Structure 1
Amino acid sequence: MKYCAFLRGVNVKGTNMKMADVCQVFKEVGMKDVSSILASGNIVFSSDKKADALKQILEKAMSDHFSYEAFLFIKSQEETEVFWNSIPFEKGDDLHIYTFVGVPGVEKVLMEEFQKSLQTENEKAEIVNHIFYWQVLKGNTLDSSFGKVLGKKNLKDQFTSRNINTFEKILKKMG
């Protein structure tokens, strides 16, 4: 089965790694057809194992190899397609659309945080198919009230976010 591993906190705040090294770690623990998409920690691979087992194997391998506390989220090709096919917002040149990959129920936590935050112009959030989507003006991602919530330490093992365009690239790589 084809999967994508979405790594949290890669190449930000001092956790730097080359994607070629990450792919090598995946290969060393038995993953097949391993390749990376962008430098933000998106690894496409094949395995006969189930996602829960893969998460444990890969988090341990990444933590051991890179000497950091690895968090990653595994989605099958079918699950990854749902992220792309459920986008609730119209794409615009002046907007970013993000989606969040994480533990079950994290979409509700994110929506609560979004509703408590001060929204900027054109900033929206919606949950579709248990997936949290966030739209924000380009240039406001890190400055927005909700954007600051995303770095909370108590949420670091709960989710990771990606620009929706990343999913298009991942799905092309998955074939």
Structure 2
Amino acid sequence: MNSYAVFLRGVNVGGITIKMADLKEALKSRPFSAVKTLLASGNVVLSSDLPAAGVKAEFEACLRETFGYDAWVVVLTADRVAALVEACPYPADDASTHSYVTLSSDTAVLSDLYDAGAALDGVELTRLGPEAMAWLAPAGGTLDSPFSKLSAKPKYKASTTTRNLRTLVKVRDAAAQLGAA
């Protein structure tokens, strides 16, 4: 049995509202166990015998069938989430900046986003691996930051999602508990 973290894109923003209790209930019919939702922004940890690609396919099908929207998720093993948190050079808590990690299910799309972001003035990015990059935004100005505006473009929508590093730490810790159980 493998432990995974699943990151939903675009839930509880932009008109797509899913109660985490409803999501957990919907997932009961899928080949997942020990399902736990974290926060209201679409973070789930679970166990499954499926490979990551199978978890992604089952999870997206569940969202589309149950909640009626064109759903996209990024699925990472618990170990990979822990490695990404460890690799992030930015602080989880800082008074002047917020640290974010953009995750992707398509490495080519993430590479394109990284290259476009690196070309922006004053943007600090760090590639953490083929599926993730970290970036900083000024406290209180995340949505107005040049990289946030770039990453919100439709061409990145289907394969990327962003989490605050503090959220990723919580997901890492919850996923690690699944593996220890």
Match of 2:8 in 1: 7
Cα displacement (A) at 1:128: 2.5
Structure 2 distance, partners of 1:169, 1:145, is 27
The amino acid of 2:117's aligned partner reads: F
TM-score (norm 1): 0.92
Cα deviation for residue 104 of structure 1 reads: 2.0
Q: Which residue pairs with 2:112 in the alignment? A: 109
Partner SS for 2:107? coil
Matches of 2:5 and 2:83, distance apart in 1? 13
2:113–2:156 Cα contact (<8 Å) kept:
no
Alpha carbon RMSD of aligned pairs, Å? Answer: 1.4
1:144 paired residue number? 145
The residue identity in structure 1 corresponding to 2:96 is: D
Q: Report the count of equivalent residues.
A: 172
Contact 1:118 1:146 in 2 (8 A): no
SS in 2 for 1:53: helix
Residue 97 of structure 1: aligned partner: 99
Deviation larger for 4-13 or 101-110: 101-110
> Is the Cα contact below 8 Å between 1:23 and 1:36 reproduced in 2?
yes
CA distance in 1, matches of 2:135, 2:80: 19
- Identity across matched positions, percent: 29
Q: Which runs of 5+ in 1 are unaligned?
A: none
Of 104-113 and 132-141, the range deviating more from structure 2 = 104-113
What code does the residue aligned with 1:81 have? A
CA distance in 1, matches of 2:70, 2:91: 36
Provide structure 2 residue ranges, at least 5 long, that are not aligned to the other structure. Answer: none
Alpha-carbon contact 1:97-1:135 (below 8 Å) kept:
yes
Counterpart of 2:133 in 1: which secondary structure? strand
- 2:120 and 2:145 map into 1 onto residues whose CA distance is 9
The code of the aligned residue for 1:53 comes to: G
- What is the rounded CA distance, in whole Å, between the counterparts of 2:31 and 2:12 in structure 1? 24
Match of 1:18, as an amino acid? K
TM-score (ref. length: structure 2) = 0.89
The residue identity in structure 2 corresponding to 1:129 is: G
User: Once superposed, which parts of structure 1, at least 4 consecutive aligned residues long, lie more than 6 Å away?
Assistant: none
After superposition, what is the alpha-carbon deviation per residue over 1:100-155, rounded to whole angstroms, capped at 9, x for unaligned? 11122333212222123343xxx411113332110111111111122111221111
